[in-house]
Every structure is written in structure tokens, then in C-alpha cells.
Amino acid sequence: MAGAGERKGKKDDNGIGTAIDFVLSNARLVLGVGGAAMLGIATLAVKRMYDRAISAPASPTRLSQSGKRSWEEPSWLGSSSRLLNQDMKTNISRSLQTLPTDPSAFETDSVKPMRHKSSAKKSQVELKKSRLRMSLQEKLFAYYRRKVAIPTEEQAKAKQAAVDICAELRGFLRAKLPDMPLREMYLSGSLCDDLQVVTADHIQLIVPLVLEQNLWSCIPGEDTIMNIPGFCLVRRENPEYFPRGSSYWDRCVVGGYLSPRAVSETFEKVVAGSINWPAIGTLLDYVIHPAAPLESLTLEVQYERDRRLLIDFLPSVTIGDTVLVAKPHRLAQYDNLWRLSLRSAETARLRALDQADSGCRSLCLKILKAICKLNPSLSHLSASQLTNVILHQTQEEASWSQDVLADRFLQALKELIGYLEAGVLPSALNPKVNMFSELTPEEVDELGYTLYCSLSEPEVLLQT
């Protein structure tokens, strides 16, 4: 065997040098190519030092012809361990160059059967994974039918109730405040886009304000001292030429900016304080009343004995191509900022992608939304955040057929965990916007931990 013969020109090394040679020669069989290379590099320096030591002459004080002791240690041993002499670099380089790059070159007759067994075991693992995916696929479709999908009749009744309320509000505002510059109100939200899950229980009533083009401008949040992408300030312009009162909405200006909170409070005084909702409810056969204080003005409508609908009254402004809504930031110190509205564009892109290839993106999104809605520990994840995860995933995966729903669902969970770990989820339409900017570090940790624990057994998420 390699290294077993006598070593000429050197004294007997009592078997230590032989043992080192033996380990190096057979390391490839035990450790493989990469392991042998690393072991060779680490051991070579020790072996060379030992060889020099056992090669010392009988009298260590005898000098060589060059005037130096022949047993003197090479200069690199006393210096930094990172410095190698030229001889060592050459030997290491040659050793690495002679190592084969194909691991099969080191297979012996006893190793090859082990490799075949490993391949067979790998095939069994892949088969098991395939069966698990099929099982998860069936459970996802069953969960969708049982928990996610809303009956068509329920959706239709909820929409009709919202349309009736919208008509009453429109008529009242025109009669009560004829000089208030408003565009036509309209309904928006997941109920209108067939993306609502579990139950038809909320919708948005968008109330567009009319702003004079030369009196108002939009300042992106990232260009302000607050540096908050995804939010904007609406600044009052040209006060020296058009003094306060030139615009109807000057009454809602705070510190030179149109305040979304002041606008919402103006509507709240009218909608919640002036309208006789019990009388209107009797007329429409609904029970209507303003909901408990939420982040925006909200009406609660009971349109059936066991069916309730929340209607968010949401003022909106459009400046150029920018659409803003009076949905406040979670932190009170930013209550003068308008929120950039990207939902309509996100939904339109998702729908267009699914229509192009009959994909399951919307189906996967609805399942994720239902899981987050029914699981309290995931309730801080919003529909917009989940939509952006799917849109990012669409850029990486071309296949979105119904047959790969389980794969795309698991991948969405993994990518969501990755975004939570980084603390950043860029908007698919505006990368400057971090969709996690309003989550606290504690909420991010809780969300990430819950989802990470579910990866080993994702069916647990479907039991809520």
C-alpha cells in the first residue's frame, strides 16, 4: 500500500511518517475528492516539518557549506501561518492538479453497490415527496371549497346592499352639500374583484375629491424628511396668488398640507352625524349604523339575520397619475400622509396573468388570504402583501397550471418567510415601497416563526 515501503535517505521515523503517508494516500476513499484535498493541504505542512526534523545530522552544531545549520527550520515556520515558501506552494499546487475531478474515479467495487443503493433510496424519497405533494394538492382544493370560496348568492346580496347604501349617500351629499366638489362615488375592494374569502363582509366606498390642478401638488414620502415611500403629502400651492378659501378643501389644510384626517373628519360629521340611518335602514330593509371607531369611517350593514357587511368610507384624491386614499399610517405621527393606492393596478396585473394562461395565481392568493384571516397569529399579513408575494413569484415561475398549485403554494410560503427574514417586501409595482414598513419587529418575528414552523407540515395551516 502507498507509503508502506522504506524511505531512502532518511532515518527510521518510528512509523509516524508512514502513518501520515497512509492517511493521505487513502483519504480519497474515505473523504472523497474535496475532503482529501483539504486534508492534504492541512497535513502537508506538518509532514514536511517532521521530515526535516528526522533528517537532521548526528551533530546539530555542524554547519553546512553555506554557513547555516543543516537542520535549521525553514523561515516560514517562525512567521505568519498564512505565508508559504515557494517550495510548499509548488507541492500543494501539484497535489491539487493531480486530483481527479470526477468522484467516480475513486469508486471501488465495494463503493459502487453503495452508490446504487443511494440512488434507489433517493428515488424512493422523490416518490414519497411526489405523493405528499399530491396529497397536499387535494387538501388545498378541499380547503378552498370548504372555507375559502364564497357562495355566489351571498356575494350578490352583499354587493346589492353596498350599491343601495352608495345611492343613498350620493343623494344625501348632493342635497346637503351641493358645493362640495366630488366626482362620482364607486365601490372597490376584493368583493368587487372576486378575491374576497371566507365570507362577504367588507367593501370600500371610494369618494373622489376634486382638487384644482394649480393649487395642489403631490410630494412623494421618500422626498420628505419622514422618508416613507408608499405615502405622499398633498401640498397647497400658490397661496400668495390664490389665498386661503380659493379652494373648498382649504378648510382641511393643516400646516400647508391637505390633511387626510381632517378630510375624513369632515365626512364623518356629515355621514355619521347628520344622516338618519335607522330610517334609511327601515326603507331598505337593512339595519345600518356607524361602526365602532376604526381607522376610517365605517358603516355596518346587517342585510340578513346572520349576514353583516362593513362599508369603509374612503376619500380619495388623484393628482396626475397618482391615486391617493385617506387610509392612515399605523403610526399616529404620520397622520398627515395620504396612502399611495396600488391595489387596483396589482389586481389588474394578477387577473391579466391568470387570463393569459388559465393560471392558479388568484386561487393560490385566495387560499393564503383565508389562512391569514382564520389564523390569529397571521392576521397582520394583509391582502396587498400576499398579492405582491404572488406577483414576485410569477416573475420567477412560468408554470401556473392547476396541477402545480401545491408546489406554488409551498414556494409562496418559503418566499414569504424569506421576505420576513429580511424585513423587506418590495412592491412589485413600485420597488421603493416596502410592504412591511408598518409592521413592528415583534410582529415580523411572530409571522416568520409561525410560517417557518408550518413548513414541515403545511396541512396544519389548513386546519384553522
Per-residue pLDDT of the chain (464 residues), as tens digits, is: 444 444 444 444 455 556 555 555 555 444 554 454 445 544 554 555 555 555 444 444 444 444 443 333 343 333 333 333 444 434 434 443 444 434 444 344 554 556 555 665 666 556 555 555 668 999 999 999 999 999 999 999 999 999 999 999 999 999 989 999 999 999 999 999 999 999 999 999 999 999 999 999 999 999 999 999 999 999 999 999 999 999 999 999 999 999 999 999 999 888 888 888 999 999 999 999 888 766 678 999 999 988 999 999 999 999 999 999 999 888 888 889 999 999 999 999 999 999 999 999 999 999 999 999 999 999 999 999 999 999 999 998 889 999 999 999 999 999 999 999 999 999 999 999 999 999 999 999 999 999 999 998 999 999 86
Q: Mark whether 323 and 388 lie in a shared domain.
A: no
Q: Please give the pLDDT value at position 432.
A: 95
The C-alpha cell of 274 is what? Answer: 347628520
Are 173 and 161 in contact by the 8 Å Cβ rule? The answer is no
- The verdict on 361 and 427 lying in the same domain is yes
Written in H, E and C, the secondary structure of 155-206 is HHHHHHHHHHHHHHHHHHHHHHCCCCCECCCEEECCCCCCCCCCCCCEEEEE
Among the listed residues 375, 382, 364, the one whose alpha carbon sits nearest the alpha carbon of residue 460: 375
Residue 142 lies in a domain: no
Residues 216 and 316 in one domain: yes
The Cα 300–Cα 309 span in angstroms is 6
Amino acid 286: pLDDT: 94
268 with 289, same domain: the answer is yes
Let me know whether 261 and 371 are in one domain: no
Q: Clarify whether residues 333 and 411 are in a common domain.
A: no
Give the number of other Cβ atoms within 10 Å of residue 76's Cβ. Answer: 17
**Can you tell me which residue has the cell 389562512?**
371
Cα separation of 349 and 365, whole Å?
13
Does residue 410 form part of some domain?
A: yes
Is residue 94 in some structural domain?
no
**Position 92 in a domain:** no
Q: Could you tell me if residue 26 is inside a domain? A: no
Distance CA 64, CA 94 (A): 30
Q: Which three cell numbers stand for residue 42?
A: 492541512
CB 420 within 8 A of CB 451: yes
| Statement to judge: residues 240 and 346 lie in one domain | no
In a domain, 352, yes or no: yes
Both 385 and 311 in one domain: the answer is: no
- Whether 47 is in a domain gets the answer no
Round to whole Å and give the CA distance between 280 and 172. Answer: 11
378 in the same domain as 312: no
Is 79 inside a domain boundary? no
Listed in sequence order, the DSSP H helices in 177-298 are 260-271, 277-284
How many other β-carbons are positioned within 10 Å of the β-carbon of residue 462? 21
Which alpha helices (DSSP H) does 55-150 contain, by range? 86-98, 111-143
> CA 310 from chain center: how many Å?
29
Q: How many angstroms separate the CA atoms of 296 and 315, rounded?
A: 10
Domain extent for 426: 342-463
What's the rounded Cα separation, in Å, for the pair 356 and 340? Answer: 28
Residues 6+ apart with CB under 8 A from 263: 209, 249, 252, 315, 326
Distance CA 234, CA 220 (A): 9
| 297-331: b (≥16 Cβ within 10 Å) or e | bbbbbebeeeebbebbbbbbbebeeebbbbbbbee
On whether both 452 and 416 belong to a single domain, the answer is yes
- Domain finish residue from 340, 356, 376: 340
DSSP SS3 for 328: coil
Residue ending a domain, choose from 340, 364, 384: 340
Look at the chain and report how many structural domains it folds into: 2
Query: Do 332 and 193 sit in the same domain of this protein?
Result: yes
Q: In 281-421, where do the E strands start and end?
A: 287-290, 298-304, 307-319, 322-325, 338-340
Q: How many CB atoms lie within 10 A of CB 206?
A: 21
Q: What's the CATH code of the domain at 401?
A: 1.10.1410.40
Residue 373 Cα to chain centre, angstroms: 18
Instruction: Examine the fold and report which residue of 288, 321, 340 is the final residue of a domain before the chain moves on.
Output: 340
Same domain? For 457 and 380 the reply is: yes
Q: What is the pLDDT of residue 124?
A: 57
